[in-house]
Amino acid sequence: MSPRRKERRVGVVAVAGAAALVAVGLNLAFSAVAAHRRRKRQELPGFSAQVNLSAAEIKRLADRIIAKSKETYDAVAAVPLDKVSFANAIAPLAELDAQQFPLVQACVLPRMVSPSEELCRASAEAEKRLDSHFLLCRQREDVYRVVKAFTERGERIGPEETRFVQCLVREFERNGAKLTQNKRKEMEKLKSLIDDLNLKYIQNMNDLTKFVLLSEEELAGMPLEFLKDLEETDGKRKVLLTSYHVTPILEHCKVGSTRKLIAVAYGQKGGKQNVAILEKLVQIRHRLARLLGYSNYSDFAIEPRMPMTSRKVLEFLEEMSEQLGDLANRELTLLKDLKMKEEGDAQFGMEDLLYYMKRAEQHKVDLDIGEIKRYFPVKLVISGMLKMFQDLFALQFEEIKDVVVWHDTVRLFSVRDANSSDLLGYFFLDIFSREGKYGHTCVVTLQNGCLCSNGSRKVPVAVLLSQCPKEFDGNSALLRFPEVVRIFHEFSHVVHHISNRATFSRFSSLRLEGDFAEIPSLLLENWCYESISLKMMSGFHQDITKSVTSEACQSLKRRRDMFAGLKLKQEILLCLVDQIIHTNENVDIDDLIKDLHPKVMLGIPLLEGTSPASCFPRIAVGYDAVCYSYIWSEVFAADLFVTKFKDDLLNQHAGLRFRNKVLAPGGSEDPLEIITDYLGREPSLQPFIQSRTRNTL
């Protein structure tokens, strides 16, 4: 699920390092649709997001957004420092966000959903202008001075208002609003250097000119379909050093020397050039952090997130690595035994991990992935998923017909509380593939839930985007199981967003930092691996009364958890490298990895001549100093699942309590306090370790 999100974007769009989540659907600007666009839209209470704008309307709307924003910021800046109050300094900024957020989304989404080049171009141009404008707003020293003056007056406000003001101050300061003009120019120069180096690192990683020539004998064990796709040169097969070629070879090739050759070649792909780029990036990031008043870049990056300090992250990673030791050792022993049987007395290296994991999986997991797919027709998966979320969280979804949407396959649903019938929000399903549409499954926001100054409430509105296959000749379109999990995960974000009851738009559930934003969705992924819930959204495509078997459900869970210890150890190694280099200056990255690798990876040496830092883009772009985040979220999600849900998956009382206690506050409360209060204790690593141990070897 994507470049890392900007402030108004959500981590859920994840491509390569995480993409933008902004939304409002727009239709094609074709004359054939013009009459449809002129129809009066059915009134939807609490929903003011606009749809079906033309390219010219997008430009005019962006102009109005910028003008209104400037007017509001100028008005706040003009408030005398001895006259500041919540009403004249803070409330106008909160109201501006509440009113303009859906308008901004209306300008930005067309590039994600429209096949019209004109609309996409207008949308991209509007996004660029709006991004530049909002960055300037966040750097306005005159507005920052007024907001800061308010914090010093001691006006009594509520806890959510206090948190909102704290977020405002922190956002201004992290964008350099309190710096002198010269230091601000230096900050912009450093950010520009970082962007240039990021681009160079990725360009080196994406170099498609690097390849290895191998004979069919050297590729023994590879599927025939894979070999057919390889270009033939001088009687040999051309293997590109991309994950599409490298990963299958490391998983399936029987020839150990070939696996090693490919692993080393890929590990050298970025080369010394990328290591040098990364080291320079780290130096510049430290300079940027010090300029903004932080001791190191890691503390800057982590400050707004759940751990808050780099020290807390390092402690977490080290404890996690230690706790996984016994499990990972047992897994490694099994793999070494398999290698001994197949290849004789040979040293076990990193090039062997994927191959023997795959071999063990074939022996220990009775699962035909091709056959499993037959049990997941798209429509059945979606209908089962919607029913499950309604039952678990006491929600009522009702499809709304005869509304203007941006494509005839898009469906709109209202969401109400099943007990009170109160309107909670809306969501659109735009799940079928079409040309020009964003290529990944993600959630985009149309509108944030918030309270407006006139006392009315805007309800949350979200869109689930995907590229599911369409029915063909009356045959049901089928989903691969990973696609089922991905859609379920993303729809969990939809429910998280719609469950939000915060006062301020700023505290929308889809504007949370990644650590907390991912926890509910990772928690709910567990329902995809439990028999009672998986049966609700499965059925054989030729006879949907026959759901997936309990044995298949167990195999899917076992497959997920196999070698969890070793897989996490690899992830922890790179997270530690990420954290150490962004906490300390002048670290030799290659020497650091050589030292850490055998310690974390149970004695397995680093492949000679390779440098993982040269081909690990998350450290360089998008996840710098926060690579730990996914593991952190997984641990919290596992604790919540084991403690509150595992023994009764469809317990509506538990689901409703989770909705009200964890999902509803959004960002209006400290996330660690929310989860600690819900659990009744400090979160623990143990449920995660135990669940993975129980389901592995």
Q: Please give the positions annotated as active site.
A: 490
Phi, psi of 183 (to 5 degrees): -70, -30
Strands 461-468 and 423-432, sheet pairing: parallel
Local structure of 166: helix, strand or coil: helix
Alpha helices, H only, 500-612: 514-517, 519-525, 531-534, 550-561, 564-581, 589-600
594-610 burial: b if 16+ Cβ within 10 Å, else e: eebbeebbbebebbeeb
Q: What residues does 429 pair with on adjacent strands? A: 411, 464
Residue 140's nearest CA partner among 88, 91, 77 is 77
Q: DSSP state, 543?
A: B
In whole angstroms, give the CA distance from residue 71 to residue 611.
52
At 450, which helix (H) or strand (E)?
A: strand 450-451
230: which DSSP letter?
S
What whole-number distance in Å separates Cα of residue 249 and Cα of residue 405? 45
Question: Which residue type, as a one-letter code, is found at position 577?
Answer: V
Q: For residue 458, how far is the Cα from the chain centroid?
A: 25
By DSSP bridging, strand 411-417 and strand 395-400 are antiparallel
- The token pair at 432 is 């079928």
C-alpha to C-alpha distance for 199 and 194, rounded to whole angstroms: 9
| Axis crossing angle, helix 310-323 with helix 564-581, rounded to the nearest 10 | 150
Q: List the beta bridge partners of residue 236.
A: 233
- Measured distance CA(618)–CA(197) in Å, rounded: 14
End-to-end CA distance of the chain: 29
**Residue type at 566 in one-letter notation:** L
Query: What angle, rounded to 10 degrees, do the helices at 686-694 and 325-343 form?
Result: 30
Is residue 239 helix, strand or coil? strand
Contact assessment for residue 516 and residue 306, using Cβ atoms and an 8 Å cutoff: yes
* Virtual torsion, Cα 483, 487, 490, 496, nearest 10 deg: -150
Cα separation, 111 vs 651, in Å, equals 40
**Residues 6 or more apart from 503 whose CB is under 8 A from it?**
160, 161, 450, 451, 668
Residue 498 CA to residue 414 CA, distance in Å, equals 10
Alpha carbon separation from 337 to 229, 346, 357 (Å, rounded): 33, 11, 12
Q: Spell out the residues 6+ positions from residue 613 whose beta carbon is closer than 8 angstroms to its own.
A: 270, 274, 275, 278, 577, 589, 590, 593, 619
Residues in the chain: 697
CA distances from 345 to 57, 192, 252, 340 (A): 70, 52, 20, 6
- Please give the Cα distance from 476 to 469 (Å, whole number): 9
Block residue for tokens 């962007």 = 195
- Distance, in Å, from the CA atom of 256 to the CA atom of 125, rounded to the nearest integer, reads 51
459 bridge partner residues: none
